[in-house]
Chains A and B, each alone.
Chain A
């Protein structure tokens, strides 16, 4: 009994040390995020042109990007989104708590990487999606939300979080 206690006094701290070293060395951005996929929430909203958005438009592999004209960080990720759009990634915007006038002006000024943007001035759809602010991005595969990135989208996040999910989805179909 005494012998095992003595060993425990030394082994336990070592185990704790090793555990924390392991956690430390795991990069923050690339932390394995077990995201539980769920259905894309039902909604009845228009796009920024005033036309109703059809649910079918979320078939296939889509990137839903939460943005707003008041969001400064959205400007930071904008070039990357444009690049993604050029690579034939389908991006749908979710205009969050914004005025349609200001939103359209923003797109005019900075360019429009989106197929279209859902106009969500009250943030209802955003709330159901679990949006915490702008910018944020969701990966949708056949109307299922399979991935979520908080903060601006960049090369690293795209490659480590969304790309593997897209590859999985393509293999599955």
Chain B
């Protein structure tokens, strides 16, 4: 019963949104109705609330173990804790699409109602948002219905969800990511509305500034959580593989980062307006592209949902339609938008333009890497694989150029060029300090890798730029400084991780021990324990390490889950400031010994910390009160 009501509410929401669109279309060709906006807003709000209530009911269905709903039956189980019953909703396509729509709706209702009723763009933005939400609702209801029943009586017990998904980080990762992805529908719709409206005297940046910054924060947290989860759960000790699904999340992030910088220039100095508008549209277009790639199964990835060309076609067409709509209006209005200001070389504007160019180049590179195998395969049938070797090689020089520009731009002025003297002073100290760092690291580690050293140099350049500026007591925007230092730290930590980390594969019987190297002085495989846990059998290895004079106890496990017979590996991680000791147990051999994979990963904590810095920095810029 509740399932039917929930379904009905979603259908009604779709209906209401259609009414909003039809109603406004009708009055487009006739005289404007005096209550048009009020009525439209009311209908829109009601539609949004229907979506929320529908989803709320769906959550209730999941918690109350309604296994007559096919989706809940195949992704949940009565033995799951309530928290995981809820999170199982977004563990696969239909449910996660539902969540996506809920967030889309939430952002939209908040934004629309934040606009004053006399705001000239309110109606057009509302229409744009209605169209987008409606499109996704129809996608959900027509091709990916989460409300489908198993008739006549449902099943007695749900299938256990993939044990790999029963994890707090993985539970929050999709909501954070989606909040980020769909948050940029605001800038997308508002900018399109602005372009449609045609009054280019209007100021628009302030209205979407904070909304975009907050969406950026969610997107950053979402991507970081995914990376963090992959690191501690998947067992290979890596945190980023340039997998297509990771890439399609990174592209909107790059566009969003460019956007918030461009927005800054656009509102401060009246330049880069067309860039900012283009980027504002691009972000959501890339989010749509990401949704398409992941859900159509068109690209092989560990992360993809099931292959379904029908869904893929719908998503492709709908995303294409929306994006083309926005871009066509943009292209059409372009001549009227171009400002007549000349950009002075060496001015802050010029650096921000460079930044945009670099970001778009990065996006292009990733897009090329993701689509290249598809292109080649459709031409010659040959299969090509593109992964870390490609992306790392391409990104190293781009990061270096970006770092140099960040260093130079910190002291740049609006609309004026820097003097050569300023340029020199800005450059000297950070460059010297960075070169010194490279030299010291080389001496200390005796390792040389061109790509990694470019990364270390770039990161150092950024960090030192801000450091010296702070020391010189020049004015510095704290939030911006912290965020950029975070970025520099990320480059630094990733590069250090790549040159210092190493792996050892061991084969020991219980009771045996081995001296691995100077650092891991003793690896002692004490015992292997076998026991039963709630829904799985566990094999737990008791390992005692003597590392750098300290005793560390690690218990990597292998688990076999009852319901699906799936075997997972739980790595044991000891994380300290400089490095993570990461131990995974392999298989048992005929002679009773076990294989182990011991990975020493350096600077991992610094990577997470740098993401936290970036988020903190941006939050500071949003919430810091301006000096009166």
Contact = CB atoms under 8 A, between A and B. Distances in A.
Main secondary structure of the interface of A (DSSP, over half): helix
B385 to A, nearest CB: 14
A56 interface: no
A24 B316 contact: yes
A13 B312 CA distance: 17
B584 interface: no
A22 B378 contact: yes
Interface size class of B (residues with CB under 8 A): 20 to 34
Nearest to B292: A20
Interface string A1-36: 010011101100110010111111110100111100
Sorted nearest first, the 9 A-B pairs with minimum C-beta distance are: A34-B381, A6-B331, A17-B320, A9-B331, A32-B381, A24-B312, A10-B331, A6-B334, A24-B309
A26 B378 contact: yes
Interface string B359-394: 000000000000100110110111000000000000
Contact of A23 (B278, B327, B374): B374
Nearest to B375: A19
A17 B334 contact: no
Contact of A13 (B278, B309, B327, B335): B327
Interface of B: 278, 285, 292, 296, 298, 307, 309, 312-313, 316-317, 320, 323-324, 327-328, 330-332, 334-335, 338, 371, 374-375, 377-378, 380-382
Interface of A: 2, 5-7, 9-10, 13-14, 17, 19-26, 28, 31-34
B324 A34 contact: no
Nearest to A27: B309
Contacts of A28: 307
Contacts of A10: 324, 327-328, 331
A30 B382 CA distance: 14
Contacts of B309: 24-25
A20 B312 CA distance: 9
Contact of B331 (A7, A17, A31, A34): A7
Q: Which interface residue of A13, A19, A32, A33 has the most chain B CB atoms within 10 A?
A: A13
B168 to A, nearest CB: 34
Nearest to B310: A24
A13 B329 CA distance: 14
A13 B324 CA distance: 7
A20 B316 contact: yes
B6 to A, nearest CB: 31
Q: Which interface residue of B285, B307, B317, B381 has the most chain A CB atoms within 10 A?
A: B381
Contacts of B381: 31-34
A26 B328 CA distance: 29
B462 to A, nearest CB: 32
A31 B316 contact: no
19 contacts: A2-B335, A5-B334, A6-B331, A6-B332, A6-B334, A9-B278, A9-B330, A9-B331, A10-B327, A10-B328, A13-B285, A21-B316, A23-B374, A23-B378, A24-B313, A24-B316, A25-B313, A32-B381, A34-B382
Contacts of A17: 316, 320, 324
B564 to A, nearest CB: 15
A24 B328 CA distance: 25
B596 to A, nearest CB: 23
Contacts of A20: 292, 298, 316
A90 B371 CA distance: 40
Nearest to B281: A9
A7 B335 CA distance: 12
A32 B374 CA distance: 12
Contacts of B377: 31
A139 to B, nearest CB: 16
Contacts of B371: 19
A16 to B, nearest CB: 8
A32 to B, nearest CB: 4
A34 to B, nearest CB: 3
A8 to B, nearest CB: 8
Nearest to A6: B331
B313 A2 contact: no
B9 to A, nearest CB: 32
Given A9-B330, A13-B320, 20 more contacts: A2-B334, A7-B331, A9-B331, A9-B334, A10-B327, A13-B323, A17-B316, A17-B324, A19-B371, A20-B298, A21-B317, A23-B378, A24-B298, A24-B309, A24-B312, A24-B313, A25-B313, A31-B377, A31-B381, A34-B381
